[in-house]
Chains A and B, each alone.
Chain A
C-alpha cells in the first residue's frame, strides 16, 4: 500500500496514527544463497556476537519446541542485548563481523534438532539494581507473526525478585523467562511455543495478536 500525503500529514501532526503493516510468517526458505560473496540470510557468523574462543565468551543455547514437544528445525532466533557492563551498543558491523566490535545483536537458525546457539557475553544491568536480560525474537514457519520474549540471567536473585516484568507474570510461568546456568557457564534457554511449559511471550504497545484459543 502507498501511504498518501493526507495520511502522512495526519500522522505527523498527531491527529491519526498510521496503522502498522501486518506481519507474516518467515516461511521455511529464509537464508540460503550460494556462496560467501553473495547475500544470505542468516549471514556468516551471525550467531557469534563474540568469538567463541574469547575468554569472556558465553554460550547461549536452547531448543525450540512445538505443541507436541517436537523440536522446530525451521525457526530463526534473534537476540539483542547490552554488553557485560550494561552499555547499549550502537556500533555497526553486525552483518560483517570484524571479530572485535561488540554490536549486541545476533541471528541464529535452529539446526536439524531445533537447537540454536549463540556465542555472546553475559549482559550487564543497564540501570543499577535492574535484572539484566537478553531480548529475543522468534520467527518460524507456521508462526504468523514474530514473538518477543526475554532471557533473564539466573544469578542476581534479589534483582529478579524486584523486577517489574517478572513480578507481573504468574508465579508458575515466571521460570520460563529465566535461563539455567550450566557448570561450564553455558546459559540454557529452551523456547516452548505451546504446551504446559509455554514460554511467556511479550506484547508491546502498538502491535496486536488477535484471538487466542
Chain B
C-alpha cells in the first residue's frame, strides 16, 4: 500500500520528477518498470537485469480461443444490463498485428474500463462517482481473419487516484492481448486523443519517448462513427514479432 505521506506530494513535484527522467532518456519504446513518479512501482519493479533468453517449447505457442469461449455479444458492453448505459456510446475498432505486419487471428482481446462517470465496478473503487447499473465495463472478443477487433462501449471518464495530491488518470481502456507465441502476451491501455491529463500522468509518462507514447493513443475516426448512434475510434495494436516459424497453411488454419 502507498505511504500516506507520499500521496501528499504535489503535481509539481511529480511533474518535475517526470521531466528529469525524460531529459536523460531517448528512444525507449516500452515503459520503465522503475518509474518513481508512479509511486506504486517503487517496491514492485524488479531491480536485477532481465534474463535474456530465446523462447522454447511451450513458449512458442499460445492458448487457443474460440466461440465456445466468447459469445459475440460480449464485445458489446452496452447490452450487458437491462437498459441503456449512460454516456457517450462509441465503437473502438482496430487490428492486432505482429512485428512483421501479420494479422494476429483468432486471438482473445479483453477490455475493462471505468464508466462515463469515472467509476469502476469493483469493490476496491470507492471514488464517490455514480455506478451505472447498466454498465459493467468488461468485454471480450476474438480477432477475425484480418486481425480486426471491435468493441461497442461507453467512453470512460477520467478519475482521481492516490498517487499524489490531485492526481487524475487520463480516460483509458485497459486492453489484454494474446499473440501466436506466449511471449507476445501483453496488457496495455488505450487513451483518447488530445487528453489534457497526458502530461501530468506518471503511468502514461512511464514511457519516456513521445513517439512510443503516441502508440497508445487512438484516432478519432468518423468512418467508425454511426449516424445518430455512436462516435468512433480506431486503434491498432502491435505485438512483438512472432518467434515461431510462420507456416503458409496457417493462413487458412482457422
- A: residues with CB less than 8 A from B are 1-3, 7-12, 14, 17-34, 38-41, 66-68, 70, 72, 74, 78, 80-82, 88-96, 103-105, 123, 126-127, 130, 133, 135, 137, 139-148, 164-165, 168-169, 173, 193-194, 198-213
Closest CB in chain B relative to A101 CB, distance in Å: 9
> Which positions 16-59 of chain B face chain A at CB distance < 8 Å?
25, 28-35, 38, 40-59
Within 8 Å CB of B74, what residues of A? 39
* Per-position binary interface string of chain B over residues 135-150, scored 1 when its CB falls under 8 Å from any chain A CB and 0 otherwise: 0111110000000000
Tell whether, in the assembled complex, residue B53 and residue A144 are in contact, meaning their CB atoms are under 8 Å apart.
Answer: no
B28: contacting residue among A17, A90, A208, CB under 8 A: A208
Contacts of B203 in A (CB 8 A): 24-25, 144
- Interface pairs (24), CB distance under 8 Å: A1-B216, A12-B102, A18-B100, A19-B238, A20-B239, A22-B212, A23-B187, A32-B120, A32-B123, A41-B112, A41-B140, A89-B64, A93-B66, A94-B64, A94-B69, A103-B64, A130-B57, A135-B59, A137-B182, A137-B185, A142-B40, A143-B41, A144-B35, A212-B48
Question: B residues near A, CB below 8 A?
Answer: 25, 28-35, 38, 40-59, 61-66, 68-70, 74, 80, 94-95, 97-102, 108, 110, 112, 114, 120-125, 136-140, 174, 176, 182-183, 185-189, 203, 206-208, 212-219, 234-241, 243
Please tell me if the beta carbons of A20 and B99 are within 8 angstroms of each other in the complex: yes
- The answer to whether B206 and A144 touch across the interface, beta carbons within 8 angstroms, is yes
How distant is the Cα of A9 from the Cα of B176 in the complex, in angstroms?
26
Given contacts A33-B137, A143-B33, A204-B54, contact A198 B97 (CB under 8 A): no
Interface of B is mostly: loop
Residues in B with CB closer than 8 Å to A34 are 121, 136
| B61 proximity list for chain A (CB < 8 A) | 88, 90
Q: CA of A207 to CA of B186 in the docked complex: distance in angstroms?
A: 10
5 tightest A-B contacts by CB? A11-B101, A142-B40, A206-B240, A203-B50, A92-B66
Q: What's the minimum C-beta distance from A5 to chain B, rounded to whole angstroms? A: 10
Q: Which residues of B contact A20 (CB under 8 A)?
A: 29-30, 99, 186, 238-240
Contacts of B218 in A (CB 8 A): 1
Residues of A within 8 A of B42 (CB): 67, 142
What is the CA–CA distance of A78 and B68 in the complex, to the nearest angstrom?
Answer: 20
Q: When the two chains form their complex, are residues A40 and B138 in contact, meaning their CB atoms are under 8 A apart? A: yes
Output the least CB separation between A23 and chain B (Å). 5
How far is it, in angstroms, between the C-alpha of A41 and the C-alpha of B111 when the chains are bound? 9
Complex CA distance for A21 and B209, rounded to whole angstroms: 12
Partner of B68, one of A96, A133, A146, A169: A96
Query: Which partner residue on chain A sits nearest B177 by CB separation?
Result: A21
Interface centre among A3, A21, A26, A126 (most CB of B within 10 A): A21
- Which chain A positions have C-beta within 8 A of B63? 80, 89, 94, 103-105
Q: Tell whether, in the assembled complex, residue B208 and residue A210 are in contact, meaning their CB atoms are under 8 Å apart.
A: yes
Beyond A20-B29, A72-B44, A173-B48, list 14 extra A-B contacts (CB 8 Å): A9-B101, A24-B31, A25-B187, A29-B120, A90-B64, A198-B46, A198-B47, A205-B54, A207-B30, A209-B33, A211-B34, A212-B33, A212-B47, A212-B49
A23 touches B100 (CB 8 A): no
Q: Are B53 and A168 in contact (CB under 8 A)?
A: yes
Residue of A nearest to B39 (CB): A142
B215 touching A1, Cβ below 8 Å: yes
State in angstroms the CA–CA spacing of A133 and B56 once bound together.
Answer: 11
CB pair B216 A201 closer than 8 Å:
no
Contact partner of A91 among B28, B64, B186, B187, CB < 8 A? B64
Rounded to whole angstroms, the CA-CA distance of A90 and B206 in the bound complex is 36
Which residues on the B side are within 8 Å of A213 (C-beta)? 34, 47
